[in-house]
Amino acid sequence: MDYETNIRRHDGEYTVYGELWDDGMGFWDKWGDTGYTFEVQHEPEFSVTELYNKDGKPVPLTTLTPKEILVIIDIFTQDYWDHIL
């Protein structure tokens, strides 16, 4: 499954695409005081594959900062769990 998100930077808005490399793993656990909770054992792993500017032109992935990549992966991860659970 492909993943997509938009990011904003000082020079405009970009669309980022990624691929799922490894599925996440977890289980439902029941606690007496809080009820059922989902416990993540392994987060999914993603690869950021494409980056486009607002005009749809490709932008080199090397322009992404490490912080931007972490934020993008966090967004992909949240989207993954939102669709699994």
pLDDT in tens, 73-85: 999 999 999 998 7
Give the whole-angstrom CA distance, residue 51 versus residue 73.
Answer: 14
Overall fold of domain 2-84: GMP Synthetase; Chain A, domain 3 (3.30.300)
User: How big, in percent rounded to 5, are the helix, strand and coil portions of the chain?
Assistant: 25, 50, 20
Cα 69 to Cα 47: distance, rounded to the nearest angstrom: 10
pTM of the model: 0.89
Sketch the domain layout of the chain as residue ranges: 2-84
Report the pLDDT value the prediction gives residue 33, as an integer from 0 to 100: 86
Residues 3-62: pLDDT tens digits?
999 999 999 999 999 999 999 999 999 988 889 999 999 999 999 999 999 999 999 999
Which residues does 18 contact at the CB level (< 8 Å), separation at least 6?
A: 2, 3, 4, 46, 47, 48, 49, 72, 73, 76
